[in-house]
Amino acid sequence: MSMKPTAQNFLIAILPAVLTVFVIFFLIMPQVRENREKDSQISVTNFIECAAAGNPVMESYPRQCRHGEQTFIEDIGQIVGGDKDEHGCLGPAGYSWCEPKNKCLRIWEETCFDGVEQEIQYFLASKYDKAVEEVRINITKQTENHVSGSVRFSPESSAGGVFLAVRSGNIWEVVYDGNGSVDCEKMRTEYDFPDTILKPNFCD
């Protein structure tokens, strides 16, 4: 003879399950709250502490770590300090030494030289181990990306020659200097020099 289900029987059946849920809830929740309180009490003041605390790290450059509402940026000086040059500039971070301004800078953020004349002056002074003040530059022809001119290594000296320079991004590169013959084909094909620059002083 089958028994009809009653409300009493239903309660008896689910009561153990309900009690089990409540026991688990009251046992686990204090531990969860304790862990959250510990996390909120962790002192994080920089990137290293943030990463050590297990927070997510974004693979940007420099890397960034987020702790709560705070974001910490990795101090690349701590990581690539051994890659500094003799002036203390961080090459891997894009910094190079600027002699005229006497500081490290990124050339795409700040120009180092006052103009093409000064840039070529410093380049040739370094190449020939001359004091910058001894190098006299005279620009004779110039387009947006090409320059020709002459150089002397002191006001009294006759030593010097001519030069050709081409713009490469934000940098002027001297591709020829001296008094010898010029590879005109190379200047035209490799560096795209126009005849307005090359003729008549360098090429026919």
- Higher pLDDT among residues 181 and 53, named by residue: 181
- Higher pLDDT among residues 160 and 180, named by residue: 180
User: Does pTM surpass 0.85?
Assistant: no
The pLDDT score that the predictor gives to residue 183 is 95
Q: What percent of the chain has pLDDT over 70?
A: 73
Distance from the Cα of residue 29 to its chain's centroid: 46
Q: pLDDT of 53-88, one tens digit each?
A: 888 888 666 778 888 888 888 776 554 445 788 888
The pLDDT score that the predictor gives to residue 44 is 83
* pLDDT above 70 (res 143): yes
User: What value does the mean pLDDT take over residues 123-149?
Assistant: 93
The pLDDT score that the predictor gives to residue 54 is 81
Residue 75 Cα distances to 43, 48, 72, 92, 179, angstroms:
18, 9, 9, 13, 49
User: Rounded distance, CA 178 to CA 186, Å?
Assistant: 16
Q: Per CATH, which fold does 115-204 belong to? A: Phosphorylase Kinase; domain 1 (3.30.200)
The pLDDT score that the predictor gives to residue 72 is 85
- Higher pLDDT among residues 38 and 23, named by residue: 23
User: Rounded distance, CA 113 to CA 93, Å?
Assistant: 20
Q: Is the dihedral of CA 139, 141, 144, 147 positive or negative?
A: negative
The pLDDT score that the predictor gives to residue 77 is 57
* DSSP assignment of 4-41: PP-HHHHHHHHHHHHHHHHHHHHHHHHHHHHHHHHHHH
- Using only C-alpha atoms, what is the Rg of the chain? 36
With cut-offs at 50, 70 and 90, classify the pLDDT of residue 204: confident
Residues contacting 39, CB < 8 A, separation 6+: 53
Q: Domain residues of the chain, as ranges? A: 61-112, 115-204
